[in-house]
């Protein structure tokens, strides 16, 4: 067996995710024939610095929450285990992640790549190994369970493990119900803002209560929100419903000690209820018992019914209530509930968690269905909040994609274009989706409705500016490509006519004629003209700088071109004279500018009269 290639366990988040990665890596190394092929790296800094991720209890107002935690490897594992399996670092450029993109569909494929030294190392993350490799069997599940014994913990944590095993053994047959809360529900994290991301990693309180009440035999509730779980057990008021904290000794456990006690205790359950949370997944890997997802126990209709019934009686923290209301909203939608109810739930959730844009996004979604005027008025308020668009456009390439993408069609319906603030939101969404045509359409609509709104004006200007930049870049690219293909310096391919068409006067005249043919054109004309002037100024400056460095790049005099005499006629055309008149008007400063513009319009009328019947575009203005 090749010994220069290793399997690496690497996670930088909580201890649950790290132990899943480590356990899976040890298991795969075992299947390869040598457990010592497994190694782990251990980043610990963030958990020693961040408030919500530490080794102590996490408090949220009066709530007692077991926060995510980790610590130095020496405070987790035995010295012998560290010496056998820990490495400080590895060459990431010569490694392959077995979870990202799933490079191998079966273990046999991976084994062949490993033995052929395809990479120096193979990294395993958090994915369920039985989903990564399709050829693993039930026997492999048993091997994975046994592999946990290979992880040697430090003495203090070994004592905790022993206590949990003894307490579970004394209880006999029982089911464990894991109820995750933490960063998915409470306001010390942004996870709760990201639409459906991690929503079903947590379990809302009413669901936990009804699962527990419907189970036969002893059931132990386990979770990080100690205060809420204690209240759920009290309200259930059934002798068979027990609370994990009652099995722990009187001394105060640290976060890590609480975590490990809960994991080991749950792993000894006959039946395990939970979600895809790393905590309950790890317990299931160790215990290899029957696992039931909390959200599969009741139908959507049943869940909606007991949410309506039990929501008020539980009366938990504001964060828990807001989380339950979000489930009320999505369940109400799923069962075809009334829009008025959806609006009511969203408003109540905003009152409980006003710093969460998620509920405001959903409220707008519902208001658009029922009352566009009210939706537009509400949108005006939300557009002043900095994190509204930050939340609406949150994304992660390797995790959940674009969180709110499923909601975008609700905001980009044609009907919203009649409402300034809603049209602005629609334009921003289309811009995010890189749909320029729709971006411009909605931007113009919002500007037309409120032309004095600086935010709408700036947005429209930026949209037009970006389009002009793209056109300019494409033109430069085409010219560069043409020059390269012909192997002739581009300056010698330019005619006198082209040179004159590149004069600022001609460019401005062309833009005014082009944009005078529609209402949209008139609206964007000031921005287009401003952009053309600025771009022209930069082109001249760039040209002069290049010539200063290399005089041979200087363009020859116009007189030297063969089409010079014919090209001079371009200076006498309607387009050129129109642009020249605008330049003259713009050159006047101070109070005289208004008279200059009056003179400009007089000049336009004069030009129209002069060129009527001679120039197809002299209907300008």
How far apart CA 109 and CA 566 sit, in angstroms, is 72
Confidence category of residue 565, pLDDT binned at 50, 70, 90: confident
DSSP 162-209: HHHHHHHHHH-S-EEEEE--GGGTSTTSSGGGSTTTTGGGS--HHHHH
Confidence category of residue 491, pLDDT binned at 50, 70, 90: very low
- Residue 281, class by beta-carbon neighbours within 10 Å (0-12 exposed, 13-18 middle, 19+ buried)? buried
Q: Do 151 and 263 contact (CB within 8 A), yes or no?
A: no
How far apart CA 346 and CA 360 sit, in angstroms, is 7
Q: What's the pLDDT at 581?
A: 85
Domain boundaries, the chain: 6-150, 155-300, 360-471, 501-615
- Taking the CA atoms of the chain, what radius of gyration do you get in angstroms? 34
Q: Do 182 and 225 contact (CB within 8 A), yes or no?
A: yes
Q: What is the arithmetic mean of pLDDT over 272-295?
A: 96
pLDDT digits (tens, 9 = 90+) for 290-303: 999 999 999 999 99
How far apart CA 486 and CA 513 sit, in angstroms, is 34
How far apart CA 189 and CA 52 sit, in angstroms, is 8
Neighbour tally for 236: CB within 10 Å = 17
Confidence category of residue 524, pLDDT binned at 50, 70, 90: confident
Q: What's the pLDDT at 490?
A: 41
424: CB partners within 8 A, 6+ apart: 379, 383, 442, 443, 446, 455, 456, 459
How far apart CA 587 and CA 122 sit, in angstroms, is 67
Q: What's the pLDDT at 63?
A: 78
Q: What is the arithmetic mean of pLDDT over 351-365?
A: 97
How far apart CA 580 and CA 598 sit, in angstroms, is 15
Q: What is the arithmetic mean of pLDDT over 2-14?
A: 84
312: CB partners within 8 A, 6+ apart: none
Q: What's the pLDDT at 592?
A: 55
- Is the pLDDT score of 588 beyond 60? yes
Question: What is the dotted CATH code of the domain comprising 360-471?
Answer: 1.25.40
Identify which of 419, 555, 565 has the alpha carbon closest to the alpha carbon of residue 497. 565
Q: What's the pLDDT at 487?
A: 38
How many residues does this entry show for the chain?
621
Q: What's the pLDDT at 488?
A: 33
Q: What is the arithmetic mean of pLDDT over 323-350?
A: 97
Higher pLDDT, 80 or 562: 80
Q: Do 167 and 174 contact (CB within 8 A), yes or no?
A: no
Q: Do 427 and 442 contact (CB within 8 A), yes or no?
A: yes
- Spatial strand order of the sheet with 241-243 comes to 241-243, 219-223, 175-179, 271-274, 290-293
CA 525, 527, 528, 530 torsion-angle sign: positive
Helical ranges in 237-296 per DSSP H: 255-267, 278-287
pLDDT digits (tens, 9 = 90+) for 198-249: 899 999 999 999 999 999 999 999 999 999 999 999 999 999 999 999 999 8
Q: What's the pLDDT at 1?
A: 43
- Is the pLDDT score of 89 beyond 50? yes
- 292's enclosing H/E stretch is strand 290-293
Phi, psi values for residue 508, rounded to 5°: -70, -40
* CA–CA distances in Å: residue 520 to residues 29, 516, 567: 65, 9, 32
Domain 155-300 belongs to what topology?
Rossmann fold (3.40.50)
- In this prediction the pTM is 0.77
Quote the DSSP letter at residue 56. Answer: S
Confidence category of residue 603, pLDDT binned at 50, 70, 90: confident
- Percentage of residues in the chain with pLDDT exceeding 70? 88
Identify which of 603, 576, 575 has the alpha carbon closest to the alpha carbon of residue 514. 575
Q: Kindly report the average pLDDT of the chain as a whole number.
A: 87
């Amino acid at each position: 067996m090749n010994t220069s290639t290793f399997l690496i366990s690497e996670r930088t988040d909580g201890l649950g995710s790290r132990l899943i990665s480590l356990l899976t890596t040890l298991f795969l190394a075992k299947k390869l024939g040598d457990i010592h092929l497994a190694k782990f790296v251990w980043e610990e800094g963030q958990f020693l610095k961040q408030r919500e991720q530490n080794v102590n209890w996490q408090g949220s107002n009066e709530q007692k929450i077991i926060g995510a935690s980790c610590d130095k490897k020496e405070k987790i594992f035995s010295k012998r285990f560290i010496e056998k399996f820990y490495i400080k670092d590895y060459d990431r450029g010569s490694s392959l992640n077995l979870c990202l993109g799933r490079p191998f569909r079966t273990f046999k494929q991976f084994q062949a790549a490993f033995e052929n030294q395809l990479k120096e190392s193979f990294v395993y993350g958090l994915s369920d190994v039985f989903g990564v490799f399709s050829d693993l069997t039930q026997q492999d599940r048993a091997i994975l369970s046994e592999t946990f014994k290979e992880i040697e913990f430090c003495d203090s944590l070994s004592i905790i493990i022993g206590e949990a095993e003894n307490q579970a053994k004394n209880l006999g047959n029982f089911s464990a119900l894991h109820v995750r809360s933490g960063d998915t529900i409470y306001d010390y994290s942004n996870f709760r803002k990201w639409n459906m991301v991690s929503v079903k990693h947590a379990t809302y309180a009413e669901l936990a209560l009804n699962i527990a009440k419907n189970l036969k035999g002893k059931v132990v509730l386990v979770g990080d929100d100690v205060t809420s779980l204690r209240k759920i057990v009290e309200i259930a008021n059934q002798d068979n419903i027990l609370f994990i904290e009652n099995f722990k000794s009187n001394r105060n456990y640290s976060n890590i000690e609480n975590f490990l006690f809960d994991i080991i205790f749950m792993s000894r359950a006959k039946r395990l209820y939970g979600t895809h949370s790393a905590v309950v997944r790890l317990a299931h890997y160790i215990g290899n018992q029957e696992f039931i997802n909390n959200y599969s126990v009741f139908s959507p209709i049943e869940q909606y019914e007991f949410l309506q019934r039990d929501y008020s009686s539980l009366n938990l923290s504001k964060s828990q209530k807001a989380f339950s209301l979000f489930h009320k909203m999505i369940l109400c939608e799923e069962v075809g509930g009334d829009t008025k109810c959806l609006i009511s739930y969203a408003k109540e959730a905003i009152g409980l968690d006003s710093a969460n844009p998620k509920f405001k996004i959903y409220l707008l979604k519902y208001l658009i269905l029922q009352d566009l005027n009210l939706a537009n008025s509400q949108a005006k308020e939300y557009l002043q909040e900095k994190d509204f668009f930050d939340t609406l456009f949150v994304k992660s390439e390797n995790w959940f994609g674009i969180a709110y993408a499923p909601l975008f069609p609700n905001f980009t319906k044609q009907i919203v274009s009649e409402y300034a603030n809603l049209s602005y939101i629609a334009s921003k969404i289309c811009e995010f989706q890189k749909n320029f045509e729709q971006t411009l359409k909605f931007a113009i609509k919002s500007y037309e409705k409120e032309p004095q709104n600086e935010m709408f004006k700036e947005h429209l200007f930026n949209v037009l500016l970006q389009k002009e930049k793209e056109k300019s870049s494409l033109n430069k690219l085409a010219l560069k490509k043409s020059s390269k293909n012909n192997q002739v310096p581009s300056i010698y391919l330019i005619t006198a006519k082209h040179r004159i068409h590149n004069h600022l006067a001609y460019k401005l005249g062309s833009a005014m004629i082009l944009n005078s043919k529609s209402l949209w054109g008139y609206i964007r004309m000031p921005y287009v003209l401003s952009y053309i002037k600025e771009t022209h100024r930069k082109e001249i400056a760039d040209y002069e700088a290049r010539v200063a460095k290399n005089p041979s790049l200087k363009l020859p005099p116009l007189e030297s071109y063969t089409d010079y005499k014919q090209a001079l006629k371009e200076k006498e055309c309607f387009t050129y004279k129109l642009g020249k008149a605008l330049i003259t008007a713009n050159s006047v400063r101070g109070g005289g500018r208004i008279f200059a513009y009056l003179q400009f319009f007089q000049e336009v009328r004069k030009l129209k009269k002069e060129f009527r019947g001679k120039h197809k575009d002299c209907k300008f203005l």
